Structure 1
């Protein structure tokens, strides 16, 4: 049986940031993540060390960050939830800045099962 790895909510945020930045820039360094997230470079360095230890990402000799297969899976699931909740909230009339903050919290607390059911339910109404 395959052991499922879990990242903390903060770890998921860092993985999501790396995914988004990779899509935008291709290559990503810690300083890019710090700028994107509005956090300090030492905070990113600590998170990167933890995520490397957990097997979620790697850093090459040029200090570029790369998501592992597991890290990419976690990042993509987190980003999918984020985009879903962001769109749902904005469509409901929530101001985008507030929707962004709320979507970021919601993406971490909903179970995978509940998210799939909710997504399917909303999809039927569209």
Structure 2
């Protein structure tokens, strides 16, 4: 079976979108990639012929066991590479996603294992996303969206969505990075912005509620 970089990208995207809602519709994939509906349909039919997905035009698509295995391998490559680029080469967290998108397709299993060993077999990447183990298992933890926190709950940031470099730079400027502690001290009505204390210094910041949905936190206590 010949698995191209394009096929790997699609199964990885389907896996990611399945975590939110399954099956995954053509429309969600078109929005994710920025491709036309006919282009998405053509690729899904190809994936089905490779037995990587179960696809029904009016229903959507799910990965098969083989498709999920490939997706998890690509995600492992990607997240190990991101962490390596940060820790070994000193790149910033907003630079590494696009580099890893390219390198993940050519990383050999031998080099993957050497990188994992060099990094101490990490469980999470620089953005806090879990790194699948070689057997496909994924580190588990309890977390929720920052947007769901109640007023005066103290929480620690554990993960930040990483696809948009400009957004990562903006959030870093606000101090909203993994391991930082935050507290919502005010919430504007009608899904308006959140006012936060950030870090040990309790620096006050204002965050759009839509951006808050892209940050995962672990609740520590209430004040």
Aligned residues: 121
> Which is further off, 33-42 or 74-83?
33-42
- Bigger helix fraction: 1
- Once the two structures are superposed, what CA deviation does each residue of 1:4-41 show, in whole Å capped at 9, x if it has no partner? x3421010000000000001223311211111122222
Q: String of CA shifts for 1:47-84, please: whole Å, max 9, x gaps.
A: 11111111111113643101111101001100111122
- Identify the residue that residue 114 of structure 1 maps to in structure 2: 111
> Which is strand-richer, 1 or 2?
2
Change (3 A) 1:39 1:89: farther
Gaps of 5+ in 2: 123-223
- Does residue 80 (structure 1) correspond to residue 76 (structure 2)? The answer is yes
Alpha-carbon spacing, 1:36–1:116, altered in 2? closer, same or farther (3 Å) = same
Task: With the length of structure 2 as denominator, give the TM-score of the two structures.
Answer: 0.49
Normalising by structure 1, we get a TM-score of 0.83
Aligned mates of 1:43, 1:60 — CA distance in 2: 16
Distance 1:64 1:111, change over 3 A: same
Name the structure 1 match of 2:3.
7
Aligned partner of 1:18 in structure 2 is 14
Q: State the partner residue of 2:167.
A: none
Residues in 2 aligned to 1:96 and 1:79: alpha-carbon distance in whole angstroms: 17
Comparing 71-80 and 86-95, the one that deviates more: 86-95
Higher relative contact order (CA 8 A, sep 6+): 1
Identify if the C-alpha distance between structure 1 residues 121 and 69 changes in structure 2 by more than 3 Å, giving closer, same or farther: same
Counterpart of 1:94 in structure 2 is 91
Corresponding residue of 1:52:
48
Cα pair 2:22 2:62 within 8 Å, conserved: no
**Structure 1: where are the runs of 5+ without partners?**
none
